[in-house]
Structure 1
Amino acid sequence: MAAIQRIVVLNQRRRRPRSHLVYVRYYIRENFSPLATMSEDTIQKKFRLPRQQIQQLLDLISPDVSRQTRRNYPLSPEIQLLAALRFYAVGSFLEVVGDGYGLSKTLVWRCVRSVTNILLRHATDYIRMPSARHEVMEAHQSFHAIAGIPQIIGLVDGTLIPIANPSALNQAFICRKGFAAINVQVVVDHRGMFADVVAKWPGSAHDSFVWANSVVGEDAERDSGYPLRTYLLNPVTNRTTRAEENYNIAHIHTRNLVERSIGHWKMRFRCLHKSAGGLRLKPERCCAVAVVTAMLHNIAVSGGAALPEEEEEEEEEEEEEEGVHNPPQLRDALHAAGVQKRQQIIHNVFG
C-alpha cells in the first residue's frame, strides 16, 4: 500500500512541471496584450498603424476570429491581428514573424489567412471612388490646385507585386522585368488614398488590358499604355507647341501623386516590395493581401500614421505600345474624341 502511494506521489510530481507550462502557455495566449505594453511610436513602427486604428480593426475582426471554447488554448484576436499586421509590415518569412510572439510558422499562416479573409470582406468600405457630388467637386478642386488640369477625379497607374511561390512560376506570371509578379492597377484620389484596386491579373498582363477589363475602365480600349479618351487623359507624345509642353509638365506634376502613393504603400507594407523577396503565398492569396494592404494604407493615411524612416523610390518603367482590340473604326472614333477633349484643355488652360 505504501508503495502504491509513493508511485502516485511521484507521478503527481512529474506532472507538475508540464501543468505549469500549459498554464503559462494558456495565460500568454489569452491575456498577453502587446498593445498595452508598447508606446505609440513602437506600435506604428512595428505595425504601420496608430493604436486607435488597430483597436478599430480589432473590434471589426473579433466576432469572426474569437473562439467559442478554450480548447487547445486559442490565440486571442489581438495576437492574430498583430501577427498578420507584422507580416504585412515586414514581409519576412512566416516563422520569423512568429518568433516575436512564440508562434509557429503554421500558426502565423493561419493568422494571416484568417485576418486577410475577414478584412477583404470590408475592403469596399474603405476603397471606393468618389460618388457624391461634394466628393467629386472636392476631387476636381484639389487636383486642379496641383497643376491646373480641370475635372480630374482620380489618377490611374499599374504596379508589379513580386511573388515567390514556386508553383506560380510559369510564363503567365513572369513580368516584363523578368520576375514572377501580379499586375495591380490602382486609382488614387487627391488625398493619396486608393479609390479603386484591381488585383487579379498575372505579371505578364499589359496595363491597358487590366484597365480595359476593370470596372472603372470596362468601356475603354488601348492605343498605348493607357488609351486617350474623353475621360482618360495621357501626355502628348509628339509635342509641337509651347501649350502642349506646358500641358505635359502639368500632367507629370499631377501624376506624381499616384507614383508617390504607390511608393508609400510599399514602404508601409514591405511584403509588397521587391526587397522582401516576394510574397510567399499562393497567387490568389497574394491578390487578397494586395487589396487588404491598400485598405490598410487608406486607414493609415486617414489616421495620420507616419511613414517608415527608410524610403526607397519604386521605379516603374513605361509600357511599350501594343496592338488594339477594338475595331479600327470604333478605336479611331474614341481616340479622336479623346484628342479633341485634350486639345480643348490645352487651348483653354495652357494656351
Structure 2
Amino acid sequence: MELCACFPKVGSFLEVVGDVTGLSKASVLLSVAALTPILLRHARVHIKIPTTREEIRQVHQGFHAMAGIPRVIGVVDGTLIPILNPSLVDPCWIGRKHFSAINTQVVVDHEGLITDIVARREFSWSFLLGDSGYPLHSYLVTPVTNPATPAEERFNEAHTDTRTHIEWMFGRWKSRFRCIHRSSGGMRLSPAKSRGVIVVTAMLHNMAVRAGADEPPPLDKDEDSEDDDAQPPVPDARAALHQAGVQTRQELIDLFF
C-alpha cells in the first residue's frame, strides 16, 4: 500500500515514494509495474457484488437506514482518474473538464466498499441508484427530472441523501491513494497500466476498510467527478427498458406519500 499511500499535495507520486523509500524514480516505476499484475490476480476476491442472500440483505438494510429507499444494492457514479496525456496530439484522453483522465465507473455499497468497476449487469430484485446522467432502467433508478408532487420531491431528497455516499467514498479512496487524485499531477504510466493501478487501489481500499484502518485525511470536494445532470435521450430500442424503470421508480415514489 505504500506505493500509492497518502502524500502531501505535491507533484508526481513516483518522486515522493522514491524520496520516502530511498529509491530512484525509475526503481519505483519498475516496482509498480512488477507488483500491479500480481495484485490484480486477487482483485475479484476483494471487489465483488454481494451474491448470497445474507450479503444482499445486509446491503439492503444498510442503504435503507440512510434515507428509506429499499432494495438498493449499490450506488453507481463515475469519477475522473488523472493521467498524463499519452500523446500531445491525441485528444481522446481529454475530457470536458479539460485534463487527461480515465473515466472510471464505480459501484459502492453502504459501508464504502467498492463492489464493482464498470458495472454491466442486472441485479434481479435489487437495483442501483445513479444520477440523472444515467438511463432509467428497472435495475438502475435515477431521480425524477422535474418532480411534480410532494412524494416525488421526497423521493428525490432520499435519492440524493443516499447517493452522496459515493462522493464521500471517492474522497476517502483518493485521499488514501493520492496517485489517483488530481493533485498528484496525473499518473506517469500508460493508460493500460494506469487502469491496472486504479483497480489495485480499489482492492487495497476495500482491504483497508474491512480491516478498520484509520480514516485518511479529508480532501477538498472531489472536482474530478463526471456529473451530468442532463437526462439522456431514450432510443426506441430501449424504450421497453426505460418503461420498466419508470414502473420501478414509481413503486418507490409511492412509498414516500
User: Do residues 111 (structure 1) and 31 (structure 2) align?
Assistant: yes
Which structure has the larger Rg? 1
Q: State the match for 1:65 in structure 2.
A: none
Give the superposition deviation at 1:336: 1.4
**Which residue type is aligned with residue 285 of structure 1?**
K
Q: State the match for 1:86 in structure 2.
A: 3
**Which residue type is aligned with residue 120 of structure 2?**
V
TM-score by length of 2: 0.88
Change (3 A) 1:182 1:217: farther
Quick one: which of 103, 121, 124 aligns to 1:216?
Answer: 121
Q: State the match for 1:318 in structure 2.
A: 227
User: Do residues 303 (structure 1) and 220 (structure 2) align?
Assistant: no
Deviations for 1:289-314, whole angstroms, at most 9, x for unmatched residues? 10000001101111111223343220
Q: State the match for 2:202 in structure 1.
A: 294
Give the superposition deviation at 1:277: 0.8
Structure 2 distance, partners of 1:331, 1:215, is 15
Change (3 A) 1:228 1:301: same
RMSD: 2.3
User: Which gives a bigger RCO, structure 1 or 2 (Cα 8 Å, sep 6+)?
Assistant: 2
Q: 5+ unaligned residues in a row in structure 2: which ranges?
A: 124-131
Query: 1:263-278 residue pairs with structure 2 within 5 A?
Result: 263-278=171-186
User: Do residues 187 (structure 1) and 107 (structure 2) align?
Assistant: yes
8 Å contact 2:85–2:93 — kept in the other structure?
Answer: no
Deviations for 1:6-45, whole angstroms, at most 9, x for unmatched residues? xxxxxxxxxxxxxxxxxxxxxxxxxxxxxxxxxxxxxxxx
Give the superposition deviation at 1:115: 1.3
Structure 2 distance, partners of 1:299, 1:168, is 37
**Which residue type is aligned with residue 109 of structure 1?**
L
8 Å contact 1:267–1:312 — kept in the other structure?
Answer: no
What percentage of aligned pairs have identical amino acids? 52
Give the superposition deviation at 1:144: 0.8
SS at match of 1:182: strand
SS at match of 1:225: coil
**Which residue type is aligned with residue 65 of structure 2?**
A
**Which residue type is aligned with residue 267 of structure 1?**
S
Change (3 A) 1:321 1:245: closer
Change (3 A) 1:192 1:168: farther
Change (3 A) 1:186 1:310: closer
Give the superposition deviation at 1:259: 1.2
Structure 1 distance, partners of 2:57, 2:214, is 28
**Which residue type is aligned with residue 173 of structure 2?**
W
Paired positions, count: 246
Change (3 A) 1:124 1:307: same
Once the two structures are overlaid, the 10-residue window that deviates more, 167-176 or 247-256, is: 167-176
Query: 1:208-247 residue pairs with structure 2 within 5 A?
Result: 214-216=119-121, 225-247=133-155
**Which residue type is aligned with residue 12 of structure 2?**
S
SS at match of 2:115: strand
8 Å contact 1:155–1:258 — kept in the other structure?
Answer: yes
As a proportion of its length, which structure holds more helix? Answer: 1
SS at match of 2:27: helix
Give the superposition deviation at 1:165: 4.2
Q: State the match for 2:238 in structure 1.
A: 331
Quick one: which of 59, 72, 76 aligns to 1:139?
Answer: 59
Query: 1:100-179 residue pairs with structure 2 within 5 A?
Result: 100-167=20-87, 170-179=90-99
Q: 5+ unaligned residues in a row in structure 1: which ranges?
A: 1-46, 48-84, 199-213, 219-223
Structure 1 distance, partners of 2:212, 2:4, is 21
Give the superposition deviation at 1:340: 1.3
Deviations for 1:253-290, whole angstroms, at most 9, x for unmatched residues? 11011111111100111111111111111101110110
Structure 2 distance, partners of 1:187, 1:284, is 21
**Which residue type is aligned with residue 138 of structure 2?**
T
SS at match of 2:153: helix
